[in-house]
């Protein structure tokens, strides 16, 4: 049996790159997708190839249906199969919630176009091939923001909530051949997060989280990649699940009691 084939959107850097490299280590051929980070995409491909994978580096904006279809067609032309899809491409605009004037209709539409519609278009493109071959697995890289309604902006939060709901909706109809799940990470140590904040704010966030979280750790890109890949190859009876990866942040602040309170 030949190697499995995975498409990972937004995989030039960060979680997407870590996922592509991990899949390469697990003997998958991988499609590295980017919109602007061309140099980084080819660097990620080189690393994947060092682990024995064949690669395609494909520039595509997932908000454009024809580009999603083209990427899937190129994959099928090269390998004749698609086993895994990781919807990792994401977009946000950092904006404080109270600043209602800080988000425009265009902001919402551009964020939803990638985070929700883009994921849907990629799923729509791969499903016929996965159905025909009789198996496939899809995992959506969502966010804790879509669960607890806190994040970089209201537009981002609601887009991830929509992605979570879409994951559950599609689980009803993609089986039995295809499983679909989502992961919901909290903050991740990536340039994507750092790029939307000042250095001081970023360092403060990470420091505070690592002192207060139950597991005392903020996820790395590789930490999230491990869970994404587990959903693809290690969860045969799980579909429609949204799995939180946040070192316990969603549990909230633990109340402190003294002996006099008991």
Residue positions annotated with a catalytic role: 156
Both tokens of 167, joined, read 């994951």
Q: What are the residues facing 86 on neighbouring strands?
A: 8, 139
φ, ψ (nearest 5 deg) of residue 7: -105, 130
For helices 154-174 and 119-133, the axis angle rounded to 10 degrees is: 20
Q: How far apart are CA 77 and CA 124, in angstroms?
A: 18
3-class DSSP assignment, residue 205: helix
Unique residue bearing structure tokens 């209602």: 100
DSSP state of 251: G
Q: Where are the alpha helices (DSSP H) in the chain?
A: 14-25, 38-50, 65-79, 105-112, 119-133, 145-148, 154-174, 191-194, 199-212, 221-233
Residue 100 token pair: 């209602």
């Amino acid at each position: 049996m030949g190697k499995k084939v995975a498409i990972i959107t937004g995989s030039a850097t960060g979680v997407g790159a870590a996922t592509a490299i991990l899949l390469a280590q697990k003997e998958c051929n991988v499609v590295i997708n980017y919109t602007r980070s061309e140099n980084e995409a080819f660097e990620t491909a080189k690393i994947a190839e060092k682990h024995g994978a064949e690669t395609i580096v494909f520039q595509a904006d997932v908000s454009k249906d024809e580009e999603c279809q083209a990427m899937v067609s190129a994959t099928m032309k090269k390998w004749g199969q698609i086993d895994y899809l990781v919807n990792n491409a994401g977009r946000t605009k950092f904006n404080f919630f109270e600043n209602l004037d800080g988000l425009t209709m265009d902001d919402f539409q551009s964020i939803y176009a990638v985070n929700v519609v883009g994921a849907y278009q990629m799923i729509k493109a791969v499903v016929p091939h996965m159905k025909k071959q009789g198996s496939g697995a899809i995992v959506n890289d969502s966010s804790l923001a879509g669960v607890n309604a806190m994040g970089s902006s209201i537009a981002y939060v609601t887009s991830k909530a929509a992605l979570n709901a879409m994951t559950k909706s599609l689980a009803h109809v993609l089986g039995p051949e295809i499983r679909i799940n989502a992961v919901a990470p909290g903050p991740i140590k990536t340039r994507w997060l750092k790029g939307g904040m000042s250095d001081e704010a970023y360092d403060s966030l990470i420091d505070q989280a690592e002192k207060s979280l139950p597991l005392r750790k903020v996820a790395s890109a590789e930490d999230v990649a491990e869970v994404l890949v587990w959903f693809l190859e290690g969860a045969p009876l799980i579909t429609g699940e949204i799995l939180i990866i946040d070192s316990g942040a969603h549990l909230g602040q633990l109340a402190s009691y003294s002996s006099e309170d008991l």
